[in-house]
Structure 1
């Protein structure tokens, strides 16, 4: 009976910690999104364009040659972007 109680207590504690961490992560994501939006507004206000990462010529060449998957991989490696973001960026490079 004691083992069962300890197991249930462990499961409840794990669930509580997981939900707390999840809520904190969501709050931090919202805050980061707001900061990114504000930074974008500041950059736009001052007319500053974000520099293109070095190596984008390779991504353009791969996309131009129809090697889309390799271009997406290269874009992700260069920028650290996610799969969807890299795919959309490569699609804008292809004619």
Structure 2
């Protein structure tokens, strides 16, 4: 085997690995967005039914909201759930309305 063939083969393998990783990452992000949308819908249903539900993990977020610290509450929500900024903001604002 000559050197140019090995270099070409190595580059091909690297490209395939990078593309496979990119596809997997895209699927994970898409699944995360789908889960966030489902959580939003469930929250809206609970709000419509007048049911208040706070996860035990969210007590810190609620405490920050009660202290008037909305931005730290959103940050805390994101750290707990891994949600993106928009989802966290919407969820915290719904929690704030329930207080």
Q: TM-score, normalised by structure 1?
A: 0.52
Q: Is 1:9 matched with 2:22?
A: no
CA distance in 1, matches of 2:9, 2:18: 14
Look up the match of 1:68. Answer: none
Aligned-residue offset at 1:17: 0.4
Q: TM-score, normalised by structure 2?
A: 0.50
CA distance in 1, matches of 2:39, 2:24: 22
CA distance in 2, matches of 1:81, 1:27: 16
Q: CA RMSD in A?
A: 3.6
* Residue segments in structure 1 that go unaligned for 5+ positions in a row: 65-71
Aligned length: 73
Matches within 5 A, 1:1-95: 1-53=4-56, 56=59, 80-81=80-81
* Residue segments in structure 2 that go unaligned for 5+ positions in a row: none
